[in-house]
Amino acid sequence: MSETLEKDAGMRAPAGERIAKRLARAGLCSRRDAERWIAEGRVSVNGRVLATPAVTVGDDDRIAVDGKPIPEAERTRLWRYHKRAGLVTTHRDPQGRPTVFDRLPEDMPRVISVGRLDLNSEGLLLLTNDGALARRLELPAAGWVRRYRVRVHGEIDAARLAALEKGVTIDGVRYGSIKAALDRQQGSNAWLTVSLQEGKNREIRRVMEYLGWPVTRLIRVAYGPFQLGSLPEGAAEEVPGKVVKEQLGPAKPAKAKDNTKVKHADHRRTP
């Protein structure tokens, strides 16, 4: 039996990464699953069975799971996905409800979501195979605006809607600036365009309910520069690597701005 390796002595690489991240990037599992596999003695590096995930590996290390070499790590990739209502944004749901990841196209690799859309929300969801990229895209420092089409029940008061730009406190929870504009009033219903930089859990629904306008439909149409466009419901489309690099640029804080114009045909149109 292979010798058990304690810690990561003698196995560091100058430009390495943690073993759990390496397994996840190979598309085999999540980092949490990787840590469980290591605890079960299923993962080896250079012939030595690991006993801890505190191991850094490099490009030259030979990594195996259950004695089989793992595939090469995939390059970082990003997809636009059109989520329909009725799906939860999680890999496993304790209540057994259908998930986004159950309904992805069969040719998709293992991915994680950039943020979430709740069960009854729909529209643009970004997916990636790189956890570091997902975290970077979620950071408020990125300054990226999330934009939504929102249908509410009630007659809109323009002054109260405009006041949301100053933020609002509801039941002790402070919600930041929300830009909301009335698109049209149709009898007892209205369509709004709502933009915010950092969305708390169910923020739009809670704020509109507080104003007396319950949300009956919520569609995310843009996440920073990436737009839903004409992407069909349930479809996923990879964002070209060149576009991702152009939009990300160097990692640095930025002021909030509604940067939704991208020089790429599939990202320019909105419903």
Tens-digit pLDDT profile for residues 210-226: 999 999 999 999 999 99
Q: What is the predicted pLDDT for the residue at 15? A: 56
Q: Would you place residue 16 in the very low, low, confident or very high pLDDT band (cuts 50, 70, 90)?
A: confident
Burial of 51 (0-12, 13-18, 19+ CB in 10 A): middle
Of 187, 205, 223, the last residue of a domain is 223
CA distances from 195 to 60, 223, 260 (A): 46, 10, 11
Domain of residue 132, residue span: 78-142+224-267
Judgement on whether residues 131 and 155 belong to the same structural domain of the protein = no
Nearest CA-CA partner of 218 in 231, 236, 199:
199
Q: What's the pLDDT score for residue 238?
A: 96
pTM for this entry: 0.74
Q: What is the pLDDT of residue 73?
A: 73
Q: What is the CATH number of the domain that holds 114?
A: 3.30.70.580
Is 86 found in the same domain as 136? yes
201, 116 in Cβ contact below 8 A?
no
- The set of catalytic residues is 118
What pLDDT, in 10s, does the model give residues 112-133? Answer: 899 899 999 999 999 998 887 8
Count up the domains in the chain and report the number.
Answer: 3
Cα 43–chain centre separation: 28
**What does the pLDDT read at residue 9?**
36
Phi and psi at residue 171, in whole multiples of 5°? Answer: 50, 40
Q: Is the pLDDT of residue 263 over 50?
A: no
Q: Round to whole Å and give the CA distance between 190 and 182.
A: 7
